[in-house]
């Protein structure tokens, strides 16, 4: 399972409730006639993400896909046909955006909408197997998922650990981003 993750910041004078309504409408439009390889999407409010808007309050859209070939389909689909107008409306109110591609390493998709904390971090200088063993107590916690960035397609760190609880990672520098689930399709 892959996630195309898109972070975006509304323009400063944008009404938050209006922006969220347009964003939800866009996600509903995509889900109503889902493209090949698309499973679902989730929208979160987030803050403290230094790779977007200098850590300003932002939004995270997670588009869950079968594989990387599903990206082309989603990309074309999202800005054409009946999805073009909802996309263009919300995009016109955004001041900046950034994206990444992440693969689910551990945990389940079902836990995503219950997550309230994202820990973003990079692997210390050690083999991946040893690193994953070190993380096992946290990644096996209930309602937790670990996502691994693919092909350095983002300015965000290599890993994202999402959980209902704020987990502690020993000897790893993390960026904690509180998140609030808004909508899922």
Mean confidence (pLDDT) of the chain: 94
- Nearest Cα to Cα of residue 29 among 5, 57, 3, 61: 61
Distance CA 181, CA 120 (A): 17
Report pTM: 0.94
Q: Are strands 117-121 and 94-106 parallel, antiparallel or unpaired?
A: unpaired
Beta strand residue intervals within 27-88, DSSP E: 38-46, 58-65
Cα 80 to its chain centre, rounded Å, is 22
Is residue 184's pLDDT more than 90? yes
The whole-number average pLDDT for the span 63-88 is: 94
Instruction: Give me the pLDDT at residue 111, please.
Output: 87
Give the pLDDT confidence of 104-132 residue by residue, as tens digits.
999 988 889 899 999 999 999 999 999 99
Instruction: Give me the pLDDT at residue 155, please.
Output: 84
**Are the CB atoms for 26 and 52 separated by under 8 Å?**
no
Distance CA 39, CA 35 (A): 9
Give the pLDDT confidence of 4-48 residue by residue, as tens digits.
999 999 999 999 999 999 999 999 999 998 999 999 999 999 999
Pairwise pLDDT comparison (74 vs 151), residue with the higher score: 74
Give the pLDDT confidence of 45-71 residue by residue, as tens digits.
999 998 898 888 899 999 999 999 999
Domains located in the chain, CATH noted: 2-184 (3.30.70.100)
The whole-number average pLDDT for the span 144-171 is: 92
- Nearest Cα to Cα of residue 136 among 144, 126, 124: 144
Q: What's the CA angle centered on 2, arms 27 and 98, to 5 degrees? A: 60
Instruction: Give me the pLDDT at residue 106, please.
Output: 94
> Structure tokens of 9?
């910041």
Distance CA 19, CA 25 (A): 10
- Nearest Cα to Cα of residue 24 among 45, 50, 47: 45
């Amino acid at each position: 399972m892959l996630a195309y993750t898109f972070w975006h910041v509304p323009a400063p004078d944008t009404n938050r409730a209006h922006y969220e309504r347009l964003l939800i409408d866009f996600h509903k439009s995509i889900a109503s006639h889902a493209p090949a390889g698309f499973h679902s999407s989730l929208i979160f409010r987030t803050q403290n993400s230094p790779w977007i808007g200098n850590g300003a309050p932002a939004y995270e859209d997670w588009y869950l896909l079968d594989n990387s070939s599903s990206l082309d389909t989603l990309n074309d689909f999202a800005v054409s046909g009946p999805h073009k107008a909802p996309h263009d409306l919300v995009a016109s109110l955004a001041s900046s955006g950034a994206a990444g591609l992440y693969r689910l390493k551990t945990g389940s998709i079902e836990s995503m909408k219950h997550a309230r904390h994202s820990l973003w971090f990079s692997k210390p200088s050690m083999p991946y197997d040893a690193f994953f063993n070190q993380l096992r107590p946290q990644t096996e916690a209930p309602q937790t998922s670990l996502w691994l960035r693919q092909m350095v397609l983002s300015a965000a760190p290599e890993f994202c650990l999402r959980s209902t609880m704020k987990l502690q990672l020993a000897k790893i520098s993390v960026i904690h981003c509180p998140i609030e689930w808004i909508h899922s399709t």
